[in-house]
Amino acid sequence: MRVLATADLHYDVWRSRRPAEQLARRMLAAGGDVLILAGDTAGIDTEKLAQCLHLFAHFTGRKLLVPGNHCIWVGPCQSSWDKYQNILPRVAAEHSFEYLDRQPALQDHVAFVGTMGWYDYSYRDQSLAIPQRFYTHKVAPGAAARLPCYQHLLDGYSDLSPQAASITARWMDGQWVKWTFLDPQVTRLLADRFAEHLRWAADRAQTIVAVTHHLPFARMLKKTGRPAWRFANAFMGSELFGQAMLDQPKCRLAICGHSHRADEVVVGHVHCVNIGSTYRHKRFTAFDI
């Protein structure tokens, strides 16, 4: 079985559009039995998502999809949970993609089990000494000081180091993702569902391929001295998803994206591959299973 996987096409971003179209043509020419999109296919505009999925209309095998954090971005008075649970599965089905967050896919002896994943701040860099309230709002202290709507995070507190106070990064999920739950609650809910799907697959398949958007292992975080990225690592994922894979011996391969950094690690029995697409340079990887 030949599996083609890509991630982070960001088709709603102008500088990503032509590279995504070129990548789709390369993947169609390569051919395969299964095609996987591992998140951040498009952003707020679901029409752009539909247009991107249409690029793969002539792929003759099965087509599988998990969303990414950008995929659940919404406008005012909209719900990211509704988009995740209802709108994205419908758009996927209209273009013959199976939505792995809803249910696994079986192909011969292989089960494909997927989840968007999420983050619970367990990947945050403790050495930055940034209090959790800033991660909850997804804004570093230096940025909060510049933005009136976040200055309440600073008022009355004296718990910031000079290093923390100088970091001006923001994580834009804070503006565009509208949950009714806190991030750690979302992470636990999705991790529990993922674990349930893995158990289901273990009863029915010889091999499991896991697909997430967020990073399932802390070893895949960017190692950098840049304070902005060290802050952003908190939003890269959670090892709850990696642990769910490690709990299933049949899970041998995992595919992810999100960090825009190509990487491979082996953790226990799981070989995890980050596709590594950036906004301008798109990649895909072929696996023979």
Which tokens is 228 given? Answer: 């902005």
Which CATH number do you get for residue 282?
3.60.21.10
DSSP 285: E
What is the overall mean pLDDT for the chain? 96
Give the number of other CB atoms < 10 A from CB of residue 22.
Answer: 12
pLDDT at res. 279: 98
Please give the tally of structural domains in the chain: 1
What's the pLDDT tens digit per position in 114-153? 999 999 999 999 999 999 999 999 999 999 999 999 999 9
Q: In this structure, what are the phi and psi dihedrals at residue 171, rounded to the nearest 5 degrees? A: -110, 115
Contacts of 250 (CB under 8 A, 6+ apart): 111, 201, 202, 205, 206, 207, 208
What's the pLDDT tens digit per position in 186-243? 999 999 999 999 999 999 999 999 999 999 999 999 888 899 999 999 999 999 999 9
What DSSP letter does each residue of 78-138 carry, written as one string?
A: --HHHIIIIIHHHHHHHTT-EETTT--EEETTEEEEEE-----STTS-GGG---HHHHHHT
Which tokens is 254 given? Answer: 């995992």
Residue 93 confidence (pLDDT) above 90: yes
What's the pLDDT tens digit per position in 9-66? 999 999 999 999 999 999 999 999 999 999 999 999 999 999 999 999 999 999 999 9
pLDDT at res. 127: 93
pTM: 0.97
Beta bridge partners of 113: 210
DSSP 150: G
**Computed over its alpha carbons, how large is the radius of gyration of the chain?**
19
Is beta strand 270-274 parallel, antiparallel or unpaired with respect to 251-256? parallel
How many Å apart are CA 143 and CA 191, to the nearest integer? Answer: 31
Q: 165 lies in which domain range? A: 2-288
pLDDT at res. 283: 98
